[in-house]
Amino acid sequence: MEIIKVDNLSTQFGDNVVHDNISFKVNEKEIFGIIGGSGAGKSVLVKQIVMLNRIQKGSIKVLGKEISNISLDESQMIKQQFAYLFQFGALYSFLNVIENISVMLNEYTDLPKDLIEKIAYTNLEIVGLPKSSALLYPSELSGGMKKRVALARAIAMQPKILFLDEPTSGLDPSSTEKINELIRYLKDILDMTIIIITHDLGTIKRVLDRFIILKKEIIFDGNIEEAFKSNNEFTKEFLRRKGD
């Protein structure tokens, strides 16, 4: 079943055409990738899906609801099913690890403090961080650990759809590989659809079930085997250039 359906979406800022009539769908419980060069409109697309950016033309259905004309109540209900890790999203530097993971639970639930702490510790464990890291502050963490804490924070509310914008950017190859493994693990143990914006060929090859390549239009839609068989020059070039 499809959880997101985008139809004939066009977006432009002034003369800058970012999306030219794009259509695609995301199936429930898959890891779906949005690929494309810098400025291809990947982040804008995700922001439109999560209702942070306006839809200028076309339609986006999320969980069966058309979001371009939706009531406030309905949009709030849908937003509760989302979690995201933004491209340059950071942890709160003045909160320790466990407080960072608890932020949304404190803000949006009435759960008692001790239960919130329990949930936070459970999520700390799920993302593979030791209990001993719970009281550290972001400045005391490595890049890979920060990503793990951000992931723990994102999954703490048990979202239906998790959006990850460049989850491995800025990491060395070994930490990148570990985050890729973690994302697959999360999808296996949690009941989620995951949408990832990425440049990383390891993520594309080993993590994604299916992906689109954006270049104003959608120039590819399929899985990695299909991408390697594609006759589209840009798709071939993309896989070759990043080749590993």
Whole-number minimum distance, CB 93 to ligand ATP, in Å? 23
144 binding ligand ATP? (CB under 6 A)? no
Compare residues 48 and 102 and give the one whose CB is closer to Mg ion: 48
Q: Which does 44 bind (CB under 5 to 8 A by kind): Mg ion, ligand ATP, none?
A: ligand ATP
Whole-number minimum distance, CB 45 to Mg ion, in Å? 9
Report the alpha-carbon distance of residue 1 to residue 63 in Å, rounded. 10
Asked if residue 219 lies in contact with residue 57, where contact means CB atoms within 8 angstroms, the answer is no
> Please, which of residues 71-100 interact with Mg ion by CB under 5 A?
87
Compare residues 31 and 197 and give the one whose CB is closer to ligand ATP: 197
- Scored b (16 or more CB within 10 A) or e, 211-240 reads bbbbbbebbbeeebeebeebeeeebeebbe
> Please, which of residues 2-41 interact with ligand ATP by CB under 6 A?
13, 16, 18, 36, 38-41
Q: Which does 69 bind (CB under 5 to 8 A by kind): Mg ion, ligand ATP, none?
A: none
Report the alpha-carbon distance of residue 186 to residue 230 in Å, rounded. 30
- Using the 8-state DSSP alphabet, how is residue 64 labeled? T
Residue from 43, 48, 168, 180 binding Mg ion (CB under 5 A):
43
Whole-number minimum distance, CB 36 to ligand ATP, in Å? 6
Q: Which residues bind ligand ATP (CB under 6 A)?
A: 13, 16, 18, 36, 38-44, 87
